[in-house]
């Protein structure tokens, strides 16, 4: 998987407006209604991540999930990060 250049990253970020670029990562926060819901969201994300074989870093703080995506094998941002970001947004929107 090839690293995306800065203009490609900016272009792809436009499609996932909840996400922000932080260096080699894109990050977003999901606020759930309560802690069990936050964990259910994490579980649904885990299923999608496994399907894609692409996994986020997840920092769970009560109802808030801080997510970070990067492609470790490539050492930065690739198409896979934006594909999973889009799946994560669908999951978040369903709760």
Q: Which residues bind ligand H2B (CB under 6 A)?
A: 53-55, 70-73
Q: How far is the CB of 27 from ligand H2B (least distance, A)?
A: 13
Measured at the CA of 55, the angle between CA 51 and CA 58, to 5 degrees, comes to 130
What's the residue count for the chain? 95
Whether the CB-CB separation of 25 and 69 falls below 8 Å is answered with yes
Residue nearest to ligand H2B (CB): 73
For ligand H2B, the closer CB: 44 or 63: 44
Q: How far is the CB of 52 from ligand H2B (least distance, A)?
A: 8
Backbone angles phi, psi at 66, to 5 degrees: -100, 115
Q: How far is the CB of 7 from ligand H2B (least distance, A)?
A: 22
């Amino acid at each position: 998987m090839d690293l995306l250049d800065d203009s490609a990253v900016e272009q792809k970020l436009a499609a996932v407006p909840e996400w922000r670029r932080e260096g080699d990562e894109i990050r977003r926060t999901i606020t759930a209604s309560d802690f069990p819901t936050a964990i259910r969201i994490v579980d649904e994300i885990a299923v999608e991540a496994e399907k894609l074989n692409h996994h986020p870093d997840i920092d769970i703080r009560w109802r808030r999930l801080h997510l970070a995506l990067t492609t470790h094998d490539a050492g930065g941002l690739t198409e896979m990060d934006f594909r999973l970001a889009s799946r994560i947004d669908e999951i978040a929107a369903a709760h």
